[in-house]
A = this chain, B = another copy of it.
Amino acid sequence: MPTDLDIARQAKLRPIEEIAAQLNVPESELYKFGPYIAKLPLHLIDKEKAANGNLILVSAISPTPAGEGKTTMSIGLTQGLNRIGKQTTVVLREPSLGPVFGIKGGATGGGYSQVLPMEDINLHFTGDFAAIEKAHNLLAALIDNNLQSKRRSLGIDPRTVLWKRAMDMNDRALRHIVIGLGGTSSGVPRETGFDITAASEIMAILCLSEDLEDLKRRCGNIFVGFTYDKKPVFARDLNAQGAMAALMKHAIKPNLVQTLEGNPAIIHGGPFANIAQGTNSIIATRMGLSLSDYVVTEAGFGFDLGAEKFFDIKCVTAGLSPKAVVLVATIRALKYHGEVPLAEVQQPNPDGLRRGLPNLEKHLENIRKFGVEPVVAINRFTTDTDEEIEIVKAHCAELGVKAVEARVWAEGGKGAEELARTVVEVVERAQGRFKPLY
């Protein structure tokens, strides 16, 4: 089998103008970064259309070391939907450079369900992370300058400053540091640290903002620390928001790329799900919904963590109404939940599989609480037996849920056609019954 990188490198990319044309966006609207990447202007967003569009969320059962493949499934399903004639865009998060150089690898899908140009997306892409990092660190520098300043001092107690610095790098030695050493000309000594950029509050703000003006206002509201008199200090007290927004002028615009099969992909924002909302920007999702009939998107971690945030934070904030949830499950992960050791999940084990089904069942139950209909996508691996696949399908059938096998890694969109058809059925049946939990 070729590797993901081999497949990505051998792919013949289409000029980004052609991808834009699928969305009826003329070349003149594109802010290009080379031939295959472009930023889209915010005026293309139609909030009304976005609110009612066919939004499909891809989530997963509880994450395991065995992996589930949400991104790959999202891309494969998008390719599948396009193959069965539905104009569909996949909307995803931007990868963090930290994990790219770490063990976890990039976040651009896999096999024949990838977004391209893979290497550019995984490295600097269009500089969005760099801009977030710069805006984040500008605020930090303004804080330390204010601590140092005698004339403009806000009287901030350095020990209460919660705003750290950010770097898009797995650099654990920067987590806990002491800065401002070296004498009176080098700032005020204090303890602080660096967070990875994906964990920056600016990242969360970017992904919740309507536009640059809204982002600027939200940046001004960032809490910085307390004065010696215990009064809260905000970024706006340092007059930081203007420069921060200026640095984010391009970063606020979503990025258009393509899937391996030449379907549109919008990639924008990348907050981690463990500490933030774990899903791409509202701007990106609305852009996708404004320009295409179907939008497939994903939320980090399992349904309980990532999708709960997606529904209760993002959809509520943006007024979005998902029409279906695709819950990705693998036979291997279900076995793992059935307490089969990781080393043995590739061997047939119907009993172990059955012991893991309650995990799937609970997620399905949770999905329905939001008033949205689930479809189970079984991400098929070559080691899975037909018997095992049937066990899952049968169990789902009992619960009144369709479970469909999908071979998105090995076959791309072709392997997701049945899933696509099932999802379309669910979407067409949906009657806007989505309701948040609180």
Interface size class of A (residues with CB under 8 A): 35 or more
Per a CB cutoff under 8 Å, which of B157, B172, B183, B185 touches A187? B172
- Cβ of A385 under 8 Å from chain B: no
Residue of B nearest to A130 (CB): B130
A159-B184, A173-B188, A174-B179 are known; give 13 further A-B pairs, CB within 8 A.
A32-B33, A97-B134, A123-B247, A141-B169, A141-B171, A148-B173, A157-B184, A159-B189, A160-B184, A173-B180, A175-B186, A176-B181, A177-B177
Residue of B nearest to A140 (CB): B171
- Cβ of A52 under 8 Å from chain B: no
- Cβ of A14 under 8 Å from chain B: no
Contacts of A185 in B (CB 8 A): 172
Contacts of A138 in B (CB 8 A): 101, 169
Q: How far is the CA of A292 from the CA of B196 in the complex (A)?
A: 44
Interchain CB contact under 8 A, A243 and B130:
no
- Cβ of A276 under 8 Å from chain B: no
Residue of B nearest to A123 (CB): B247
Q: How far is the CA of A26 from the CA of B150 in the complex (A)?
A: 55
- 4 shortest interchain CB distances as A-B pairs: A173-B187, A176-B182, A130-B130, A144-B173
Residue of B nearest to A171 (CB): B141
Q: How far is the CA of A419 from the CA of B158 in the complex (A)?
A: 55
Interchain CB contact under 8 A, A167 and B124:
no
Contacts of A165 in B (CB 8 A): 174
- Cβ of A34 under 8 Å from chain B: yes
- Cβ of A31 under 8 Å from chain B: yes
Closest chain B CB from A150 CB (angstroms): 6
Interchain CB contact under 8 A, A178 and B189:
yes
A134, A138, A183, A243: most-surrounded residue (chain B CB, <10 A): A134
Q: How far is the CA of A102 from the CA of B178 in the complex (A)?
A: 24
Contacts of A168 in B (CB 8 A): 134
Contacts of A145 in B (CB 8 A): 172
Interchain CB contact under 8 A, A158 and B189:
yes
| Residues of chain A in range 35-54 having any CB-CB distance to chain B below 8 Å | 35
Q: How far is the CA of A250 from the CA of B125 in the complex (A)?
A: 11
Q: How far is the CA of A352 from the CA of B326 in the complex (A)?
A: 65
Closest chain B CB from A119 CB (angstroms): 8
- Cβ of A137 under 8 Å from chain B: yes
Residue of B nearest to A124 (CB): B127
- Cβ of A349 under 8 Å from chain B: no
Q: How far is the CA of A165 from the CA of B194 in the complex (A)?
A: 12
- Cβ of A191 under 8 Å from chain B: yes
Q: How far is the CA of A180 from the CA of B190 in the complex (A)?
A: 9
- Cβ of A203 under 8 Å from chain B: no
Q: Mark A4-33, 1 if CB is under 8 A from B, else 0.
A: 000000000000000000000000000111
Q: Mark A127-151, 1 if CB is under 8 A from B, else 0.
A: 1001100100110110011011010
Contacts of A141 in B (CB 8 A): 169-171, 173
- Cβ of A397 under 8 Å from chain B: no
Interchain CB contact under 8 A, A186 and B182:
no
Are A178 and B180 CB-contacts (below 8 A) given A134-B124, A141-B171? no
Q: How far is the CA of A35 from the CA of B170 in the complex (A)?
A: 34
Q: How far is the CA of A165 from the CA of B123 in the complex (A)?
A: 19
Closest chain B CB from A120 CB (angstroms): 8
Contacts of A187 in B (CB 8 A): 172-175
Residue of B nearest to A31 (CB): B34
Contacts of A158 in B (CB 8 A): 189
Contacts of A123 in B (CB 8 A): 246-247, 249
Residue of B nearest to A249 (CB): B123
| Residues of chain A in range 84-141 having any CB-CB distance to chain B below 8 Å | 97, 101, 119, 123-124, 127, 130-131, 134, 137-138, 140-141
